[in-house]
Amino acid sequence: MVYLPAANTGATPGASSGQTTVNQFGTAPAPVYSPGITPVQALTPAGAPARPTRQVAFGAPGAPPVSDPLARDIGTALGELQREVAPVAYADLGFRYRDGEVGLGRLFELDNTTSFTFSPANTGRLTVQANPVHVAAGKPDLGGAKRFGTNPLLAPARPLRPADQTDTGLGLSASYAIADVKVDVGTTPLGFQLESLQGGIQWQPALTDALRLRLTADRRAVTDSVLSYAGTRDPLSGKEWGGVMRTGGEIGLSYDVAEGGAYGSVGYHVYDGTNVADNAAWSADFGAYLRPYRTETSRLQVGVALSYLNFDKNLSQFTLGHGGYFSPQNYFAIAIPVDYRATVKKWTYNIGGAVGYQNFRQEAAPYFPNDPDLQASLQANAAANPGNDIPTAYAESSESGFGVSAQGGFEYALTPATTVGGSLSFSNFGDYSESSGKVFLRYQFVD
């Protein structure tokens, strides 16, 4: 989706899950929605193939002298082939912080990804990956505790205070890519309150030199909050709930030439979780971009991006049956992203940002959307205590306005085989803000 990108930087295997986790396809998975702007990769827009700047060639041992053009071209081709099949080890440390109500919508995530990629029998690329993750939201205060789990049933008495909302787990995955097909399978972090299998398949054939089709089917975790990502336990009933998964598909087309390009996609996904009401959503993204300035080692890209999103139900809250993820009934956004990328000797860097406008509406929702008996009990309690003004539903809400985002990243080639780098991003809309970052080390086993 568009949502004023604080774009994560590229398709490095194992990018921090705090930065809209880059999956084994090398592209960000379906976005994780939160009130306001969600970071996505629109500076090189979703569905638009990246046209990277030329990377500095550091050469390989035994490369022919540059004075012989034919030998140089042969040596360059051999070097590129060697790098295509060479094993790669990668490790990073990333963070993500999302502002919100303590113990509920607030989220701090710290994660490490370690991966190893190789080409079995010089055919395709196989990646194995481990991803320790820690998430924390804090302990809900009294006001938050009244809207947590089944605590509303205790009104007007004092609610039970939930435990500190934190969890730690280890995600595992493996992926294989060959030609236009990429497939992966793995787990949400093992050790979380709730665990699930996840994975997907993508087919991205080139229809012409510039036109590409993209078909994707996948099942991914929704990482908006501790509730939606890790799951939690209700202090009153003892029930587990949360751990929301997003399952569905997307079809897209992209057109890309040196001067610019355009893209479009539509998708449909269903959302399910433990003791969470089922949900479904349609999404659509369209955009275009130009590269008014480009050289062999740099380029400037400017574009416009449109997004639309529509959920069946509003399940954004934290009482039992809700999923703690942004689920508007009508969401529209338009953004103007700008990105500059360049390579200078051993340095490659990018800096960019976006300004845009968005509007969304969330319908009123019952406190217990998945349990009519609990909802009836709450309404009966409210009727029996008219002087205490006990709420039984979340009010409809809407918001519109302008937002901004900024992001930057770099890579530095310590040696022809070893690269270090990092990135930072920030996005803001109204009371919502999110920041993320990572540092990484990549080593390619080349002769």
Please list the rounded mean pLDDT of every run of 10 residues in the chain (447 residues): 37 34 31 30 32 29 45 59 85 97 97 97 96 98 97 96 97 97 98 98 98 98 98 97 98 98 98 98 98 97 97 98 97 97 97 96 97 97 94 96 96 97 94 94 91
Q: Is 135 exposed, middle or buried (0-12, 13-18, 19+ CB in 10 A)?
A: buried
Contact 285, 317 (CB under 8 A): no
DSSP string, 391-407: --EEPPEEEEEEEEEEE
Q: What totals of helices (H) and strands (E) does the chain contain, helices first?
A: 4, 19
Q: Where are the domains of the chain?
A: 17-444
- Token digits of residue 366: 């019952």
**Rounded alpha-carbon distances, angstroms, from residue 144 to 62, 147, 156, 159:** 66, 5, 15, 10
CA torsion sign for 145, 315, 403, 18 is positive
DSSP SS3 for 379: helix
CATH top class, domain 17-444: mainly beta
Q: What is the pLDDT of residue 97?
A: 98
User: Which single residue is written with the structure tokens 């998945």?
Assistant: 370
- Token digits of residue 70: 């034919």
Please state the pTM of the whole predicted model: 0.83
- Token digits of residue 270: 């269903």
The region, left, alpha or beta by phi > 0 then psi within -120 to 50, assigned to residue 146 is: alpha
Q: Is 49 exposed, middle or buried (0-12, 13-18, 19+ CB in 10 A)?
A: middle
Q: Catalogue the E-assigned strands of 22-142.
A: 88-98, 107-118, 125-138
The β-bridge partners of 219 are: 199, 247
Q: Is 326 exposed, middle or buried (0-12, 13-18, 19+ CB in 10 A)?
A: buried
Contact 236, 153 (CB under 8 A): yes
Q: What is the pLDDT of residue 13?
A: 34
